[in-house]
């Protein structure tokens, strides 16, 4: 029907010129007038519709998402190609079926059908949307951004990752962290939570993720795997964080696990990266939750998901497995706050530790990387526990405070071992270096 109308529009223009009334179509004069008005409406190309650099996210071996800010109601696009000239590029429109999710501030596009461990070039685009006739939508010409690149994960990809955490919308440490990441050039970034403080409006999250006060373009050429921190659950806008940060594809998991929107388990070369969400740092009965949180069942729901990941051959056979949590799942201090009390807040997350810790050990996971404490720490392997734990630091940039500094934790495989380097990005030195042997799959 759409095609018929479009060819009729062309035909009717000719008929009008020659003075013949287009009765053959059966179109009412009022409808013809609408078509004429729609066709005659010129949508001027907007000056600066794109309002941020692209943020690559939710990388998978065969897909990657991108979100970006715009200045007006628009439909978003991404083009992806196997060459920097963008020849034979494949074009994608905003995610959403049947309606592409157009928006006036943030657009999200998923590029799929990709090959694992493959370098691609891409660019984002947007077309302003107007409604010249009732609900009939007419887009402007597309405004394109610059060409960037990424490499999809997979078993043949580089065994290399980097971790940022607890930036808390503080732009000095954010600059230090993103400068370091630009230098390291790992193909994937795990953003291990507490990106936000309390986000009340969508604009709060636009400023944090898409238009940060430093590090512009930090996610344009390296995709982020975002793992929630406790702060990323605070404020009305964080209920709708999906507006800015895309979630994993439902096809990646069993319907039982569809509520677990951000948990990830992917192979980055010889390393399996697993993301687990520790949630808030207070129990569900705490008044701060207002009776409106379900973190305890949420942690329980991640157990069967986690167990199933180790049944996937590419995860089961990975030489190295690193799990990421925001709140540590171990604390050497027996009096440390376990996050189950009314008093104060979690230093570590006891429920998650009890639920997930044994699964990680049973599967020979070598390392857990945590955050939340704002102070770098290494917890070695213990008898009966396969994994060591590294806690990343941040966001203090006070050099007089020698205990607190922001970190970038880098992991890469060299000579058959997983080498972890904890970069102190404040004093620009290495805070810790560790080496892990392959697991017995
Ligand atoms: Fe934090
Ligand atoms: Fe935290």
Residue-wise pLDDT tens digits, 166-187: 999 999 999 999 999 999 999 9
Measured between alpha carbons, how far is 236 from 279 in angstroms, rounded to an integer?
16
pLDDT score at 216: 98
In the predicted structure, residue 403 carries a pLDDT above the cut 60: yes
Is residue 232 scored above 90 in pLDDT?
A: yes
Tokens of 213: 């006060």
For residues 185-208, give the mean pLDDT: 98
- Cα of 372 vs centre of ligand 2, distance in Å, is 4
- pLDDT above 90 for 306: yes
CA-based angle 328:334:336, to the nearest 5? 50
pLDDT for 24 beyond 80: no
- How far, in Å, from the CA of 212 to the mean position of ligand 2? 19
What's the CA gap between 126 and 351, in Å, rounded? 44
300 alpha carbon – ligand 2 mean position (Å): 20
pLDDT for position 25: 65
Helix (H, G, I), strand (E, B) or coil at 32: helix
Rounded to the nearest whole angstrom, what is the distance from the C-alpha of residue 117 to the centroid of ligand 1? 33
Average pLDDT over residues 76-83: 98
Ligand 2 centre from 281 Cα, in Å? 7
405: its two tokens: 């500094």
Mean pLDDT of the chain, nearest integer: 94
Ligand 2 centre to CA of 368 (Å) is 16
Residue 9 pLDDT > 50:
no
Does the structure show a pLDDT above 80 at 46? no
Region 222-242: what's the mean pLDDT? Answer: 98
User: In angstroms, how far is the first alpha carbon of the chain from the final one?
Assistant: 57
Closest ligand to the CA of 195: 1
**What is the 232 CA–ligand 2 centroid distance (Å)?**
9
Mean per-residue pLDDT, 392-405: 96
Strands (E), 42-104: 55-60, 63-69, 74-81, 90-93
Residue 441: predicted pLDDT: 60
Ligand 1 centre to CA of 168 (Å) is: 7
* Closest-approaching ligand to the CA atom of 282: 2
Ligand nearest to the CA of 339: 2
Query: What mean pLDDT comes out for the span 390-397?
Result: 98
Ligand closest to Cα of 395 equals 1
Say which ligand is closest to the CA of 234: 2
User: In order of start, what are the domains of the chain with their CATH numbers?
Assistant: 2-40 (no CATH), 69-151 (2.60.40), 160-436 (3.60.21.10)
Question: What percentage of the chain carries pLDDT values higher than 70?
Answer: 94
Residue 431 has pLDDT above 60, yes or no: yes
pLDDT at 8: 39
**Around ion ligand 1, which residues have CB less than 5 A away?**
166, 194
Tens-digit pLDDT profile for residues 314-367? 999 999 999 999 999 999 999 999 999 999 999 999 999 999 999 999 999 999
Q: How far is the CA of 279 from the centre of ligand 1 (A)?
A: 12
Structure tokens at 147: 């060409």
pLDDT at 225: 98
- Over 80: is that where the pLDDT of 17 sits? no
């Amino acid at each position: 029907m759409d095609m018929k109308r479009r060819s009729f529009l062309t035909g009717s223009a000719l008929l009008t010129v020659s003075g013949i009334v287009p009765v053959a179509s059966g179109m009412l004069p009022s409808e013809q007038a609408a078509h004429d008005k729609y066709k005659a409406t010129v949508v001027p190309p907007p000056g600066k519709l794109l309002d941020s650099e692209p943020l690559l996210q939710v990388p998978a071996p065969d897909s990657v998402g991108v979100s970006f800010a715009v200045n007006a109601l628009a439909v978003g696009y991404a083009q992806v190609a196997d060459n920097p000239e963008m020849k034979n590029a494949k074009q994608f429109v905003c995610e959403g079926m049947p309606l592409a999710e157009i928006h006036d501030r943030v657009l999200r596009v998923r590029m799929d059908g990709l090959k694992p461990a493959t370098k691609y070039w891409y660019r984002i685009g947007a077309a302003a949307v107007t409604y010249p006739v009732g609900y009939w939508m007419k887009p402007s010409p597309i405004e394109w951004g610059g060409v960037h690149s990424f490499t999809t994960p997979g078993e043949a990809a580089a065994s290399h990752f980097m971790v940022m955490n607890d930036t808390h919308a503080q732009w000095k440490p954010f600059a230090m962290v993103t400068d370091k990441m630009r230098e390291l050039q790992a193909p994937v970034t795990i953003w291990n939570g507490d990106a936000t403080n309390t986000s009340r409006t969508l604009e709060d999250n636009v400023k944090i993720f898409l238009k940060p006060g430093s590090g512009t373009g930090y996610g344009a050429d390296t995709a982020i795997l975002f793992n929630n921190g406790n702060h990323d659950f605070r404020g009305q806008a964080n209920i709708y964080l999906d507006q800015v940060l895309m979630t994993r594809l439902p096809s990646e998991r069993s319907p039982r696990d569809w509520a677990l929107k951000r948990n990830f388990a992917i192979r980055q070369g010889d390393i399996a990266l697993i993301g687990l969400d520790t949630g808030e740092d207070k129990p569900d009965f705490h008044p701060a939750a207002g009776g409106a949180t379900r973190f305890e069942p949420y942690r329980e729901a991640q157990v069967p998901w986690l167990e199933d990941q180790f049944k996937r051959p590419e995860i089961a056979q990975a030489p190295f497995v690193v799990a990421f949590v925001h709140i540590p799942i171990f604390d050497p201090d027996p009096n440390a706050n376990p996050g189950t009390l009314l008093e104060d807040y979690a230093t570590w997350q006891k429920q998650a530790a009890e639920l997930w810790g044994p699964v990680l050990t049973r599967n020979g996971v070598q390392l857990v990387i945590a955050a939340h404490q704002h102070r770098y720490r290494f917890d070695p392997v213990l008898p009966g526990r396969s994994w060591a734990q590294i806690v990343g630091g941040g966001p203090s940039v006070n050099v007089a405070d020698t205990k607190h500094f922001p970190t970038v934790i880098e992991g890469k495989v060299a000579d058959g071992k997983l080498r972890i380097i904890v970069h102190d990005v404040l004093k620009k030195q290495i805070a810790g270096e560790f080496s892990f042997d392959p697991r017995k799959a």
